[in-house]
């Protein structure tokens, strides 16, 4: 099956710093990408949807200036958590779907801990 590479797997940062998470499709071109976050013992919450070459569409309640999403190419999307605070500590997961593909493929996730 298709492979989605996400890194880093985990990151610890100080409050106020910014963290970038990368998500790459290794063997297909991803026209649509989704970013989710997940708190302990909860389900995945959709943060935003992005299509290559256009601005991301954010879900209600998700601050677009805090969570910067760049869908740079058909194989790469990045999520930058700006000025991170302890409440941003969470498990962040990317997912991708390619043209003509009915399946959504997920990265392995990034555990962010903000001290």
Cβ proximity to another protein: between 29 and 108 the closer is: 108
Cβ proximity to another protein: between 82 and 106 the closer is: 106
At closest approach, how far in Å is the CB of 83 from another protein? 26
What tokens appear for 36 in the block? 């989710």
At closest approach, how far in Å is the CB of 87 from another protein? 20
- Angle (CA) 52-62-16 rounded to 5° is 100
- Selected binder of another protein within 17, 18, 83, 108 (CB under 8 A): 108
3-state helix, strand, coil in the chain (%, to 5): 5, 55, 45
At closest approach, how far in Å is the CB of 109 from another protein? 5
Number of neighbours of residue 2 by Cβ within 10 angstroms: 15
Determine contact, residues 50/69, Cβ cutoff 8 Å: yes
- Selected binder of another protein within 45, 68, 74, 76 (CB under 8 A): 45
Q: Is 65 in the site for another protein (CB under 8 A)?
A: no
């Amino acid at each position: 099956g298709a492979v989605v590479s996400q890194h880093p797997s985990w990151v610890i940062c100080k409050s106020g710093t910014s963290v970038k998470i990368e998500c790459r499709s290794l063997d297909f071109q991803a026209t649509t990408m989704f970013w989710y976050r997940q708190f302990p013992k909860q389900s995945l919450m959709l943060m935003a949807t992005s299509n290559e070459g256009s601005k991301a569409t954010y879900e209600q309640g998700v601050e677009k200036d805090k969570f910067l999403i760049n869908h740079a190419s058909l194989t790469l999307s990045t999520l930058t958590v700006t000025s991170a605070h302890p409440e941003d500590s969470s498990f962040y997961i990317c997912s991708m779907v390619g043209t003509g593909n009915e399946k959504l493929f997920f990265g392995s996730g990034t555990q962010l801990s903000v001290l």
